[in-house]
Amino acid sequence: VEALGEIEVATKLLKDEDALQ
């Protein structure tokens, strides 16, 4: 399901942002 893929991408972006802070 595409929705799950979008959630994975969103989660990855959030983790990347946390790593930068």
2, 7, 9, 11, 13 from 17: Cα distances, Å? 23, 15, 12, 10, 6
Q: Band of the pLDDT at 16, cuts 50, 70, 90?
A: very high
pLDDT at 1: 64
Q: Where are the alpha helices (DSSP H) in the chain?
A: 2-20
The structure's pTM equals 0.43
Per DSSP, 1 falls in state: -
